[in-house]
Structure 1
Amino acid sequence: MDRVLSFIEQFLKNENGDLNVLGKGLKIIIVFIVIKILIKVSYVIIDKAVDSRKRRLFSIDEKKINTLTAVLKNIIKYIIYFIGTVIILDMFNINTSSILATAGIGGLAIGFGAQSLVKDVITGFFILFEDQFSVGDYITIDSYEGIVEELGVRVTKLRDFSGELHIIPNGNINTVTNKTRGAMRALVNVSIAYEEDIDKAIKVLEEVCNKLKESNASIVEGPTILGVSDLGDSGVDITIIAKTKPMDQWSVERALRKNIKEAFDKENIEIPYQKMVIIDNKS
């Protein structure tokens, strides 16, 4: 064993007993391997702690717990990487204690260069603790709209319906519209021809709404027929609204339109559409 250790030292250490380039490179690799292992172990511990907490608490917001879990994992990852960086700097005889001691003096200068980073982090914590939105919420941030995939300390990742992923620094988030808090509105405008009987059409619509309410569990309230909302160029518009569970308003609107079309076809109620009339004066 002693011979093996001495053989290894010949390749990893120089004449002064310090690590040579090969030894330092090997130590850096070991440090990064340990960092990866510690991060994975910490993630497993956090997941187990969160799972046990979910089992103990019945009225718990799962999306908020997932958001807190993601942020906690990011914080631990940054701390472990920072410790690993300090170890590597010590290996190259860089006095890290003096660097940390002068951090207070250079903090002001660094602060000017890292204002956006600090703003992102602070805003991220406010978003989290004020519960403005959570992972899985459907939100609008400025001109971006989609599902929150990740709420980190520095950035928010938003996936829109086309599949594009928008990575938005938290410091750039000024106004947020959360579309998953409370019941959402489903709105359908139905047009009938001027020649049709409005009362008959409304009666048919009421039957459609009552049947859909009984069969669709996503509807919280309604559907309610508001009546004639507009007199268009080619027909009379009737507005129907309903309150639905978050993210289900579009499916309810689609179901309403389909059932209305089928009911109107059955009752021979005409839905206006553009027509072209050709007049032949030669005949």
Structure 2
Amino acid sequence: MSNFLAQFPWLENPIRILIYFISAMLVAFLLKVVTHWLLKLGRLAPNGRKPSLERQKTLHSLISSTINLTFLIIVIVASMGLFIDLNTLAWVMGLFTAALGFGARLVVGDYLSGLNFLFEDIFAVGEKIEISGVRPIEGVVETISLRTTMLRSSSGELYIVPNGEIRSVRNFSRGKFSIANITLKIMSADLGLARATLEAIREEAVTLLPNLIEPWKVTNLEGMIGQYTELTLIAKARFGKAAEMRPYLLALVQEQLLKVNIQLVS
């Protein structure tokens, strides 16, 4: 190789740059493989601390982006060192960093936000979220990189959102319960009997409706009474099961009120 380079000295630097890039690609690939296996080891953790599959995908995506960006910067700096002496290179890098901080602050902000998502676990791949930035966007997270987050909307469009534009996140895929409130309109003369009937079956309803996680509470939100009045049942369902449980809840309540001759008013 040295004899070949001696004959073609102009090829020396391009070959070194090529070696830098190939070496960086190999090291980055090995680090990604190691990261993949380390994330798999997380499955051996106790149930309370075991990361979800979505969390593993998110971490793998963000760490891969970080590795690619880091080695790209290293290769570029090393390649520049072949043509510029160290003192000049340090000065150029300082100038470049200052220019980058001023001119590319939005891009830098995107990357810093991506790192924040990596450590804070705000949302993960596969979760349904709504993000507030320039305008609210709702969808399922498909990909998270250091710079952007990709959301698939319910109508099929793919939104690519810079991480730096995400100001707040509403996560529909995490929570302890969902609200399944229902409102009943009855004659005011039946108010006392209706309240007593609903209070009497609230404990039994938890057994009859598996998705109801605690006895409901009977309230009147408006605090008004006339010929008719409205009662609201504040019910907590298992997370994501409110819409599925509500028809069964309505049927149970109507059945119990009919037993004591209370008709619901339309």
TM range (shorter): 0.5 to 0.7
Q: How much does 1:177 deviate? A: 4.2
The CA distance in 2 between the partners of 1:256 and 1:208, in whole Å, is 16
Corresponding residue of 1:51: 40
Corresponding residue of 2:145: 152
Correspondence 1:70 to 2:22 = no
Structure with larger RCO (C-alpha < 8 A, sep 6+): 2
- Deviation string 1:84-134 (CA, Å, 9 cap, x unpaired) is 6678x67xx8659765651112322232211111222223333443x2613
| Structure 1 residues 199 and 41: alpha-carbon distance in aligned structure 2, compared to 1, 3 A threshold | farther
The CA distance in 1 between the partners of 2:193 and 2:83, in whole Å, is 87
Corresponding residue of 1:119: 109
Q: Any conservation in 2 of the 1:229–1:238 contact (CA below 8 Å)? A: no
Once structures 1 and 2 are overlaid, which stretch shifts more, 182-191 or 70-79?
Answer: 182-191
Correspondence 1:236 to 2:226 = no
The CA distance in 2 between the partners of 1:47 and 1:61, in whole Å, is 15
Q: How much does 1:182 deviate? A: 4.8
| Structure 1 residues 38 and 254: alpha-carbon distance in aligned structure 2, compared to 1, 3 A threshold | same
Among 205, 226, 234, the residue aligned to 2:219: 226
- For the pair shown, the structure with the greater C-alpha radius of gyration is 1
Q: How much does 1:211 deviate? A: 5.2
Correspondence 1:189 to 2:182 = yes
Alignment TM-score, normalising by the size of structure 2: 0.66
| Structure 1 residues 160 and 60: alpha-carbon distance in aligned structure 2, compared to 1, 3 A threshold | farther
- Unmatched runs of 5 consecutive residues or more in structure 1: 1-8, 274-283
Q: Any conservation in 1 of the 2:209–2:248 contact (CA below 8 Å)? A: no
Among 133, 138, 153, the residue aligned to 2:122: 133
Q: Map 1:1-283; keep pairs closer than 5 Å.
A: 16=8, 35=25, 40-60=29-49, 62-63=51-52, 65-66=55-56, 67-82=58-73, 102-129=92-119, 131=120, 133-135=122-124, 138-142=128-132, 143-178=136-171, 182-194=175-187, 197-202=190-195, 205=198, 210=203, 212-214=205-207, 216=209, 218-227=211-220, 229=222, 236-246=229-239, 248=240, 251-261=241-251, 264=254, 267=258, 270-273=263-266
The CA distance in 2 between the partners of 1:206 and 1:193, in whole Å, is 16
Specify the code of the residue in structure 2 equivalent to 1:119.
G
Percent of aligned positions that are identical: 22
Q: Any conservation in 2 of the 1:120–1:155 contact (CA below 8 Å)? A: yes
Q: Any conservation in 2 of the 1:188–1:253 contact (CA below 8 Å)? A: no
The CA distance in 2 between the partners of 1:257 and 1:155, in whole Å, is 40
| Structure 1 residues 219 and 255: alpha-carbon distance in aligned structure 2, compared to 1, 3 A threshold | closer
The CA distance in 1 between the partners of 2:129 and 2:32, in whole Å, is 28
| Structure 1 residues 164 and 38: alpha-carbon distance in aligned structure 2, compared to 1, 3 A threshold | farther
- Unmatched runs of 5 consecutive residues or more in structure 2: none
Q: Any conservation in 1 of the 2:115–2:146 contact (CA below 8 Å)? A: yes
Alignment TM-score, normalising by the size of structure 1: 0.63
Q: Any conservation in 1 of the 2:179–2:242 contact (CA below 8 Å)? A: yes
Specify the code of the residue in structure 2 equivalent to 1:122.
L
- Deviation string 1:175-229 (CA, Å, 9 cap, x unpaired) is 3445566534414232334388334544665577555522555443333222575
| Structure 1 residues 231 and 189: alpha-carbon distance in aligned structure 2, compared to 1, 3 A threshold | farther
The CA distance in 1 between the partners of 2:127 and 2:112, in whole Å, is 21
Q: Any conservation in 2 of the 1:156–1:168 contact (CA below 8 Å)? A: yes
How many residues of Structure 1 are paired with residues of Structure 2 in the alignment?
252
| Structure 1 residues 155 and 186: alpha-carbon distance in aligned structure 2, compared to 1, 3 A threshold | same
Specify the code of the residue in structure 1 equivalent to 2:69.
Y
| Structure 1 residues 101 and 229: alpha-carbon distance in aligned structure 2, compared to 1, 3 A threshold | same
